[in-house]
Amino acid sequence: MSSGYFEKRTELELTNLFSGLISANHILHKHGVLDGYGHISVRNPDNHDTFFMSRSMAPALVSTTQDIIEYNVRDGEPEGPTNEHHFMERFIHSELYKKFPNVYCVLHCHMSDVLPYSISRVPLRPSITTAGFLSSEVPVWDINSASPDKHDLLVSSTKLGHAFCAAFAKTNTSVNFIYNKLSSSISGSHAEPPTEPEHSVVLMRGHGVTITGKGIEEVVFKAIYTQAAARAQTSAVTLSRAHFNDLAEGKVESEGGGKIKGGKVKKSEDIHYLSTKEIVDTREMIRQTMARSWPMWLREVDVDPLYVNELKKGP
């Protein structure tokens, strides 16, 4: 979806891509996905072995091509010499681009509405129509499974980035896995190495969220509606517990210490999440309508004086 994913390109088109990357930083800040931390990158459509991301700075303040650095997918290091500071977790991006050739955009953020689902053992699940891109249960990756040398929860090396990427194709509960497995068994073919993630959204315990996609607009959409899905689920769980609660029914006799003797407990009502069929169908709907909001989000940041995109000042 991002402008410029074509075989023949000009410098002007690359400038448009940079402009979109700058605007994406602004939009994600405007909607509370990014704050002073977090970063979004886009693969170089002219050279799949590199990607573009801003230097280490607050996303809201990214404004010009001088703020954008080209990095190698191979090792997450800059393509050329630079004196700029770099994000410590750029290896999240490099390793995802390395593992999945069809990933063209990566976002790492720390949305406060989503973070509780990384530490509470309550799975984040798709429950609203605009969140069908989520897996039936969004995976949570724990950095301790990778035996880090430092316990600051940061993916600050290629080793940790490589370990983290496994979470994007790890479980067998997602809708994609079920259908891919069925297709393979029917055709008798063996599974090829994945070119895109099984899960496009993965949580990181006590740390953040990472989202992948095939373009800048797609990843921005997923980020905003992952946040909306988390808010809706949290509100629904809270409302359900407050309204139904766990009630003791029948004859209840209390013994010493407050123990329950006899009777039974009526459990709280479950939340009505999207079914497998609904997830599949909403994904198709999202694919067809995803671009609708992008011009509106662009306009929001264009008229806000906080955000400056120098690449939009030309004729």
Q: What are the pLDDT tens digits along the chain (315 aa)?
A: 444 444 455 665 788 999 999 999 999 999 999 999 999 999 999 999 999 999 999 999 999 999 999 999 999 999 988 888 999 999 999 999 999 999 999 999 999 999 999 999 999 999 999 999 999 999 999 999 999 999 999 999 999 999 999 999 975 554 555 545 544 444 454 556 788 999 999 999 999 999 999 999 999 999 999 999 999 999 999 988 777 766 555 555 655 555 556 556 555 557 899 999 999 999 999 999 999 999 999 999 999 999 999 998 654
The amino acid that residue 8 corresponds to is: K
Please report, for the chain, the start and end positions of each structural domain, with discontinuous segments joined by +: 11-244+274-312
Q: What is the amino acid identity at position 157? A: S
Residues 6+ apart with CB under 8 A from 152: none
Give pTM, 2 decimals: 0.85
CA–CA separation, 182 and 187 (whole Å): 9
Q: For the domain bounded by 11-244+274-312, which CATH number is listed?
A: 3.40.225.10
Burial of residue 133 (number of CB atoms within 10 Å: 0-12, 13-18, 19+): buried
Clarify whether 196 is annotated catalytic: no
State how far the Cα of 315 lies from the Cα of 313, in Å rounded to an integer.
Answer: 7
Q: Which of 11, 77, 84, 89 is catalytic?
A: 89
User: How far is the CA of 158 from the CAs of 73, 74, 94, 143, in angstroms?
Assistant: 10, 9, 8, 13
Q: How far is CA 175 from CA 123, 141, 171, 226, in A?
A: 16, 19, 11, 17
Q: Cα angle at 47 between 44 and 75, to 5 degrees?
A: 80
The one-letter code for the residue type at 161 is: G
